[in-house]
């Protein structure tokens, strides 16, 4: 028989399951007992057995069954840190017991190599693009339970290398997390932290040696995204430093799954979802639905409005009519008083001065100064363009003031000249207000003062149409 045996014939190496630059993982058969007992190691093996029993470690699940043996060649290690990581994986697995994690069986040193013996988990490692039979939600739940177990340990255990190659899908559809070669026992920052992980699946903080439990959430979400899209995380659409989850996933992906992956893949660890428990809660949350009462309310026909009592309404209309007549009388007296202007020669002199002022303001302030500022803004920036706009606004205000002054000189009411809209509010609802509009015709500033149009001037003078409307409403109410 050509199969190689180790540990005095206890394990027979059958075939390689994977290999790297510093070691391999073998499928081996556990012979169940030492083929050639070594008296020197009986005492140490017995002590190890007692320690596992006190720890309630599971016994060998299948004597003479298949196991996985991970061999690390110390001589090919690039640094002593690699040897430390290999020993750390063995000591960590020896303390764990979870259905979605491999079962620790043994570890030892032989012929310049470190050996770690684990339960062989039946199934296949995940490969991005090969999504047949892969249930991403089931994977997130199974691996999430395993990570929750690791993170709840004291101190918390950080895997640091969650990726498709370290996830095994069992024949029954469940998932297990393997390969604890990058595990970290503590979260405290320490000098000389090693950057461990796989590019694309590593959280940004791992590049600084600051891995935390949230780093595993990032790796788990990146694994799920790679399985759903068939592409490596670094090849997916990005927004800034983060993966654009919504743009990466196909249409029809459940909204809760999209939100969960986006929360787990946030580049900033402080803004990332805080724990695997929160992530699983988001994943299992249902989309909000419209309450049945709201839908029934939307389908319910509107009730017809009840007719209002005409008597109180008629009284309010009479009161508003009296108020409008009083305001019209006041406006008529104000217009008569406004027509009494200064002497004719003073008016002519003032009109000439105002026309000259309007011309100067229009040419200098309205044209020359803004043009110069706009040209200078090409060299000195946008602040001069803002100044040019402010000058134009000042020119408009000056034009309006000149128009009002021309109105006063001509003897018209200052209250009506140059006003864009005068709204006279009466008592009652806003739709019962009376609005009297005064428009100034378009044209140069000097001509605006000469062409002032008053909307509904005849209505303001006598108000006959308002009275007729109220009389008509009274007749309708009586009917």
Which residues have a catalytic role annotated? 161
Which residues, in sequence order, are CB contacts of 109 under 8 Å at separation 6+?
115
**DSSP per-residue codes, 72-134:** EEGGG-SSHHHHHHHHHHHHHHTT---TTSPPEEEEEEETTEEEEEEEPPPSEE--TT--TT-
How far apart CA 362 and CA 326 sit, in angstroms, is 41
Backbone angles phi, psi at 280, to 5 degrees: -65, -35
Question: Cα separation of 304 and 301, whole Å?
Answer: 9
Structure tokens at 277: 């428990």
Bridge partners, residue 108, by sequence: 115
Which helix (H) or strand (E) covers residue 6, if one does? Answer: strand 4-6
The helix (run of H) or strand (run of E) holding residue 19 is strand 11-19
* Gap between the Cα atoms of 92 and 77, Å rounded: 20
Number of helical H runs and strand E runs in the chain = 15, 14
d(CA 124, CA 100): 14
Asked if residues 440 and 277 have their Cβ atoms less than 8 Å apart, the reply is no
Q: Is the separation of the CB atoms in 169 and 132 below 8 Å?
A: no
3-state helix, strand, coil in the chain (%, to 5): 50, 15, 35
248 phi and psi, to 5 degrees? -80, -35
Nearest alpha carbon to residue 103 among 140, 136, 152, 65: 65
CA–CA gap between residue 234 and residue 257 (Å, rounded): 20
Range list of H helices, 212-275: 213-229, 245-248, 255-264
């Amino acid at each position: 028989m050509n199969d190689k045996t180790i540990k005095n014939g206890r394990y027979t190496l059958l075939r390689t399951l994977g290999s790297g630059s510093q070691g391999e993982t073998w499928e081996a058969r556990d012979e169940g007992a030492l083929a050639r007992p070594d008296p020197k190691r009986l005492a140490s093996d017995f002590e190890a057995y007692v320690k596992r029993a006190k720890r309630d470690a599971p016994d060998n699940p299948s004597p003479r069954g298949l196991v996985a043996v991970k061999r690390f060649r110390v001589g090919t290690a690039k640094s002593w840190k690699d040897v430390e990581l290999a020993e750390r994986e063995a000591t960590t697995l020896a303390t764990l017991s979870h259905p979605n994690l491999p079962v620790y069986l043994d570890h030892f040193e032989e012929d310049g190599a470190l050996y770690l013996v684990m339960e062989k988990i039946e199934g296949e490692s995940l490969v991005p693009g090969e999504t047949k039979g892969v249930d991403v939600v089931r994977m997130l739940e199974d691996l999430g339970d395993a990570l929750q177990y690791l993170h709840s340990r004291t101190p918390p255990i950080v895997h640091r290398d969650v990726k498709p190659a370290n996830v095994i899908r069992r024949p029954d559809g469940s998932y297990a997390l393997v390969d604890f070669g990058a595990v970290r026992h503590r979260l405290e920052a320490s000098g000389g932290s090693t950057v461990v992980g796989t590019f694309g699946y590593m959280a940004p903080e791992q590049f600084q040696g600051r891995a935390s439990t949230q780093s595993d959430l990032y790796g788990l979400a990146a694994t799920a995204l790679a399985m759903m899209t068939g592409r490596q995380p670094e090849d997916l659409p990005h927004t800034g430093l983060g993966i654009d989850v919504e743009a990466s996933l196909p249409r029809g992906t459940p909204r809760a799954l999209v939100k969960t992956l986006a929360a787990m893949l946030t580049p900033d660890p402080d803004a990332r979802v805080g724990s695997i428990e929160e992530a699983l809660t988001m994943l299992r949350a249902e989309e909000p639905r419209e309450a049945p009462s709201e839908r029934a309310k939307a389908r319910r026909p509107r009730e017809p409005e009840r007719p209002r009592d005409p008597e109180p309404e008629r009284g309010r209309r009479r009161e508003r009519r009296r108020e409008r007549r009083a305001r019209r009388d006041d406006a008529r007296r104000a217009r008569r008083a406004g027509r009494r202007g200064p002497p004719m020669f003073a008016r002519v002199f003032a009109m000439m001065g105002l026309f000259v002022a309007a011309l100067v303001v229009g040419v200098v302030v309205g044209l020359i100064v803004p043009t110069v500022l706009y040209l200078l803004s090409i060299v000195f920036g946008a602040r001069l363009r803002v100044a040019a706009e402010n000058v134009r606004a000042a020119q408009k205000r000056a034009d309006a003031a000149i128009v009002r002054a021309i109105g006063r000189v001509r003897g018209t009411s200052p209250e009506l000249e140059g006003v864009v809209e005068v709204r006279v509010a009466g008592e009652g609802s806003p739709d019962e207000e009376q609005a009297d509009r005064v428009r100034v015709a378009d044209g140069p500033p000097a001509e605006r003062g000469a062409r002032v149009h008053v909307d509904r001037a005849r209505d303001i003078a006598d108000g006959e149409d308002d009275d007729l409307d109220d009389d008509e409403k009274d007749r309708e109410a009586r009917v």
